[in-house]
């Protein structure tokens, strides 16, 4: 870090100005949509549609109140789907959380154990199996969407939490196995061998010696998988009815006779983004360390 700041300081003022302008422009491109989403969340229906766009307005918390306090607000134009959305939003949030949490826990549990076995025991045909696992992700989801729909209908998994959890687990497993295997591959075998000689049995070896060494990789994997599931749309749309509907689908199924209430949608989106941002901040330390993994280690 010291090195880097010294390099920046040595640059000429013009170069520095250019650098900052570029950084600011890039930031605008990335940050503006998020800013606009949050801004819209605090606008009334009319304000959201006004032209030219309003950059200065009196913010309203009506949209958030609509989400949380529903019926108590004055009913202005809340009808049909909007009413449904506004009066049941927390159901969608809860669904998203159940599905994400359940599938992540399952995928990590199975994926980490599988990755460890592949990395350490190398059963016959490991390379073939690893390729096979990856190949399940090579088909675009849409190709299998219809068969899965009928399949789920017939075995009673349609529109159930467990159905979505199982499906997402299946989608996430290849990533979990591949990512975790590469992290396990990176830790030297001698450490586990030393633990064996010191009296550690295989299962304990896994959770007491191997797992703590890949905790950084585990965090990076969790972040990656959560983003996968939290944003999933196609199968959630296809396989759920209202009771199990997740937030992305709920937002998208907003169409009505009286137009779209962008303010309300933006408010829900804003709330939906918060957990993702919190997560990134929480995992930031690990994600950064994950990138330097393997370069800072001694021996």
Partner 1 sequence: MVRVSLIDLTKRYGRITAVDGLNLDIPNMSLTVLLGPTGAGKTTTIKCISGVISPDKGDILFDGESVINIPPWERNVAQFFQTYALYPHLSVYDNIAYPLRERGVSKDEIDKRVKEVARKLRINHLLDRKDPTTLSGGEMQRVALARTLVREPKVILLDEPISNLDAKLREEMIYEFKRLCRELCQTIIYATPDHLEALAVGERIAVIKDGKLHQYGTPEEIYNHPVSKFVATFVGSPTINMIEGELKMKDGSLYLVEGGVTINISNIAGDWINKLSGDKIILAIRPEDILILKERQEGSLEAKALIAEPLGHETVVTCKLGENELKILVRGFFSVKYGEHVWIKINMSKAHIIDPKTEVVLI
**Counting contacts by CB under 8 A, is residue 197 touching partner 1?**
yes
**Counting contacts by CB under 8 A, is residue 193 touching partner 1?**
yes
By CB under 8 A, name the one of 27, 31, 77, 194 that touches partner 1: 194
H helix count then E strand count, the chain = 15, 0
Q: Which two tokens stand for residue 214?
A: 């890949």
Nearest distance from C-beta of residue 133 to partner 1, angstroms: 25
Residues 100-119 that bind partner 1 (CB under 8 A): none
**Counting contacts by CB under 8 A, is residue 127 touching partner 1?**
no
Q: Taking the alpha carbons of 133, 138, 143, 149 in that order, is the dihedral positive or negative? A: positive
**Counting contacts by CB under 8 A, is residue 160 touching partner 1?**
no
Residues 204-243 that bind partner 1 (CB under 8 A): 209, 212-213, 215
Nearest distance from C-beta of residue 194 to partner 1, angstroms: 4
**Counting contacts by CB under 8 A, is residue 29 touching partner 1?**
no
SS3 content of the chain, % helix, strand, coil (to 5): 75, 0, 25
Dist. CA 64–CA 87, nearest whole Å: 11
Nearest distance from C-beta of residue 219 to partner 1, angstroms: 14
Question: What is the contact surface with partner 1 in residues (CB under 8 A)?
Answer: 188, 190-191, 193-201, 209, 212-213, 215, 297-299
């Amino acid at each position: 870090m010291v090195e880097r700041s010294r390099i920046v300081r040595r640059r000429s003022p013009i170069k520095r100005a250019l650098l900052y302008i570029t950084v600011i422009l890039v930031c605008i491109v990335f940050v503006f949509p998020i800013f606009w989403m949050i801004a819209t969340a605090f606008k009334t229906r009319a304000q959201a549609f006004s032209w030219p766009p309003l950059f200065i307005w009196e913010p309203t918390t009506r949209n958030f109140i609509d989400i949380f306090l529903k019926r108590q607000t004055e009913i202005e134009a809340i009808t049909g789907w909007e009413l449904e959305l506004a009066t049941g939003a927390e159901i969608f949030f809860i669904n998203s959380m159940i599905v994400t949490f359940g599938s992540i826990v399952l995928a990590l549990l199975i994926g980490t154990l599988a990755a460890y076995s592949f990395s350490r025991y190398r059963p016959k045909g490991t390379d073939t199996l690893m390729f096979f696992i990856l190949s399940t992700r090579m088909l675009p989801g849409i190709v299998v969407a219809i068969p899965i729909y009928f399949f789920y209908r017939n075995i009673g998994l349609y529109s159930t939490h467990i159905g979505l959890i199982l499906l997402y687990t299946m989608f996430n497993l290849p990533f979990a196995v591949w990512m975790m295997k590469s992290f396990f591959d990176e830790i030297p075998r001698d450490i586990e061998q030393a633990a064996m000689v010191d009296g550690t049995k295989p299962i304990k070896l896994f959770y007491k010696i191997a797992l703590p060494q890949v905790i950084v990789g585990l965090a990076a994997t969790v972040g990656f998988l959560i983003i996968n599931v939290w944003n999933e749309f196609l199968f959630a749309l296809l396989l759920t009815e209202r009771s199990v509907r997740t937030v992305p689908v709920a937002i998208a199924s907003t169409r009505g006779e009286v137009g779209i209430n962008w303010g309300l949608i933006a408010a829900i989106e804003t709330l939906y983004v918060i957990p993702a941002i919190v997560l990134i901040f929480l995992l930031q330390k690990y994600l950064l360390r994950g990138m330097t993994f393997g370069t800072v280690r001694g021996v």
